[in-house]
Amino acid sequence: MKSSTILVVDDEPVQVDALARTLRKSGYDVHTANRGADALQIVESRQIDLVLSDLRMPDVTGMELLEQVKRIQPDVDVVLLTAYGTVDGAVQAMKLGASDFLSKPIDLDQLELVVSRILERRELVRENRVLRERLEESKVGFRMIGQSKTLEEVLSRAARAAETDATVLVQGESGTGKELLARSIHASSRRGDGPFSAINCAAVPETLLESELFGHEKGAFTGASSRHIGRVERAAGGTLFLDEIGDVTPAVQVKLLRFLQEREFSRVGGEETMRADVRVIAATHRDLVERTQTGEFREDLYYRLNVVSLEIPPLRDRREDVPALVEHFLEKFAKRYERDVTTLTREAMDALVKYGFPGNVRELENVIEQAVVLARGSILTLADLPPRISGQSGGGPLDALGDFSLNLTLVDGNLPELLEDLERRVVLECLSRHEGNQSACARHLGLTESGLRYKLRKWQDGEGAEE
């Protein structure tokens, strides 16, 4: 996960350096400014998660800076720092949107606690926003976009599993919709109003996975400058989703086994035994039976996870679902990007049904998203689909270059077009990865939200879209 970005603003360089040094040790990406005007330039040029600002500065007050920062980035959190703290000042700051108010001299331990609390809350708000969006889909999700017999059998088993708190193991190739099915089970269960805490076990470094799952105490290891609440605690009263469980190391497997058996755990570096009321759903694209036979995965853990087994078939084995999926994604992205794209030609649909989609539903979703964003009319045609699907040659410059293996003879004076095509693809892939969340995508790419929106409008209006 990308580290949070913090801006420290104070007209005292010594104070700025001390705060920045402390925050960088905690792993944050820190920018600094000694004047309000410089701070505003930074806020206008990059996505900021948290601003720590002095209340009194020569060119602008902290209150004024707070108002201006909120106009540029309404979602940013702001903590005001002052040696002249008063109740009235704190109340006014909170009314203007400040997240907290700290008095100088700054207690660095208190600062770390405040920053950690605010940023953890931001992450939970972001997760809940994405969750609400995806739950709206999952409530009707597969029922809307799949009618094949094989999928209906999976959904029938999932519905019965949702009526209990039984641990579920979802298996299937990458991109088949394992997490969406897990969210659907959660939403349909008695825990549906509780949190859904998801973690991709393969995406977290081995040394940090235990801490990310169970949390850690301050000082538990180098860099553990404050207490961290893990995914298990965050999921209390709800569902813990362990994606790519097949990639978990033997050491963490032992910890997970204990938790599944006893529903007990301890934070890393802590002595207290804690309990958590959570329902566990795990998912993997790997063959866990084979992994138990080779000794890579604990057999006892496998049986603890595999109480209810659900296997989602790949899209190539249920091609009859493609038309409904296409219509679903077409409506979804036309609404998201405010595009008047309503249908597609029979030839385009036939090509989509015929294509094998090795990336499964995720690949189909990405194809339709790109087509909607770059469509030149209200009806998608073969020409709007990637050459690998349409069978047509003469796609964008990157299609000619294959998997980005640059053959410079193919550029032939066409570099601006190639770069434009590359930029479009990177932006669209980023939007897809972040479920259409433009704020998260802009932050991921190092763009401002306004800059990202400008690019999307430009491509939607047809500028630079000619291939």
What is the CATH classification number for the domain harbouring 297? 3.40.50.300
Confidence of residue 419 (pLDDT cuts 50, 70, 90): confident
- Of 313, 343, 378, which residue is a domain's last? 313
What's the chain's average pLDDT?
83
Query: What integer pLDDT is reported at residue 303 of this predicted model?
Result: 96
Radius of gyration for the alpha carbons in the chain, expressed in angstroms and rounded = 25
Q: Which of 403, 322, 425 is nearest to 364 (CA)?
A: 322
Q: Are residues 229 and 153 in the same domain?
A: yes
At residue 394, does pLDDT exceed 50?
no
Instruction: Identify whether 159 is part of a domain.
Output: yes
Q: Are residues 266 and 365 in the same domain?
A: no
Query: What integer pLDDT is reported at residue 219 of this predicted model?
Result: 75
Residue the block writes with tokens 């950690």: 116
Confidence of residue 132 (pLDDT cuts 50, 70, 90): low
Query: What integer pLDDT is reported at residue 337 of this predicted model?
Result: 87
Q: How many domains does the chain fold into? A: 3
209-253 pLDDT, tens per residue?
A: 888 898 888 877 777 777 788 899 889 999 999 999 999 999 999
Q: Which of 78, 81, 91 is nearest to 40 (CA)?
A: 78
For 38, residues 6+ apart whose C-beta sits below 8 A from its C-beta are 9
Query: What integer pLDDT is reported at residue 83 of this predicted model?
Result: 72
CATH for 91: 3.40.50.2300
Confidence of residue 392 (pLDDT cuts 50, 70, 90): low
Query: What integer pLDDT is reported at residue 161 of this predicted model?
Result: 93
pLDDT winner (highest mean) among 142-151, 184-193, 275-284, 338-347: 275-284
Residue predicted with more confidence, 260 or 100? 260
Residue the block writes with tokens 């705060």: 19
| DSSP code string of 293-321 | HHTSS-HHHHHHHTTEEEEPPPGGG-GGG
Query: What integer pLDDT is reported at residue 265 of this predicted model?
Result: 87
Query: What integer pLDDT is reported at residue 65 of this predicted model?
Result: 86
Instruction: Identify whether 242 is part of a domain.
Output: yes
Q: How far apart are CA 267 and CA 48, in angstroms?
A: 30
91-105, 177-191, 195-209, 252-266: least confident range? 91-105
Average pLDDT over residues 386-407: 56
Query: What integer pLDDT is reported at residue 42 of this predicted model?
Result: 92
- Of 298, 313, 328, which residue is a domain's last? 313
Query: What integer pLDDT is reported at residue 467 of this predicted model?
Result: 33
DSSP 228: B
- Of 313, 343, 362, which residue is a domain's last? 313
Instruction: Identify whether 337 is part of a domain.
Output: yes
Cis peptide before 250, with omega less than 30 degrees from 0? no
Query: What integer pLDDT is reported at residue 408 of this predicted model?
Result: 46
Q: Are residues 160 and 191 in the same domain?
A: yes
At residue 190, does pLDDT exceed 70?
yes
Query: What integer pLDDT is reported at residue 243 of this predicted model?
Result: 94
Q: How far apart are CA 416 and CA 267, in angstroms?
A: 52
Q: Are residues 165 and 229 in the same domain?
A: yes
Confidence of residue 457 (pLDDT cuts 50, 70, 90): confident
Percentage with pLDDT > 70 across the chain: 85
Q: Are residues 168 and 111 in the same domain?
A: no
Q: Are 106 and 19 in contact (CB under 8 A)?
A: yes
Q: Are residues 103 and 219 in the same domain?
A: no
Residue predicted with more confidence, 224 or 142? 224
Query: What integer pLDDT is reported at residue 93 of this predicted model?
Result: 65
Query: What integer pLDDT is reported at residue 446 of this predicted model?
Result: 84
Q: Are residues 332 and 353 in the same domain?
A: yes
Instruction: Identify whether 126 is part of a domain.
Output: no
Instruction: Identify whether 208 is part of a domain.
Output: yes
Give per-residue burial for 153-179: e unless 16+ CB within 10 Å, then b. Answer: ebbeebeebbeebebbbbbbbebbbbb
Q: Are residues 293 and 172 in the same domain?
A: yes
Query: What integer pLDDT is reported at residue 418 of this predicted model?
Result: 67
Q: Which domain holds residue 79?
A: 5-116
| DSSP code string of 37-67 | HHHHHHHHHS--SEEEEES--SSS-HHHHHH
Q: Are residues 166 and 308 in the same domain?
A: yes
Q: Are 341 and 460 in contact (CB under 8 A)?
A: no
Structure tokens at 17: 């350096």
For 456, residues 6+ apart whose C-beta sits below 8 A from its C-beta are 337, 373, 427
Q: Which of 460, 440, 451 is nearest to 4 (CA)?
A: 440
Average pLDDT over residues 9-31: 91
Query: What integer pLDDT is reported at residue 329 of this predicted model?
Result: 92
Instruction: Identify whether 251 is part of a domain.
Output: yes
Confidence of residue 285 (pLDDT cuts 50, 70, 90): very high
At residue 91, does pLDDT exceed 80?
no
Q: Are residues 177 and 295 in the same domain?
A: yes
Q: Are residues 365 and 420 in the same domain?
A: yes
Average pLDDT over residues 373-393: 86
CATH for 434: 1.10.8.60
- The one-letter amino acid code at 303 reads Y
Query: What integer pLDDT is reported at residue 414 of this predicted model?
Result: 61
Q: Are residues 385 and 447 in the same domain?
A: yes
Residue predicted with more confidence, 457 or 163? 163
At residue 344, does pLDDT exceed 90?
yes
Instruction: Identify whether 137 is part of a domain.
Output: no
Q: Are 222 and 272 in contact (CB under 8 A)?
A: no
Confidence of residue 353 (pLDDT cuts 50, 70, 90): very high
The distance between the two most distant Cα atoms of the chain, rounded to a whole number of Å, is: 71
288-326 pLDDT, tens per residue?
A: 999 999 999 999 999 999 999 999 999 999 999 999 999
Residue predicted with more confidence, 277 or 391? 277
Query: What integer pLDDT is reported at residue 398 of this predicted model?
Result: 42
Instruction: Identify whether 125 is part of a domain.
Output: no
Q: How far apart are CA 403 and CA 398, in angstroms?
A: 8
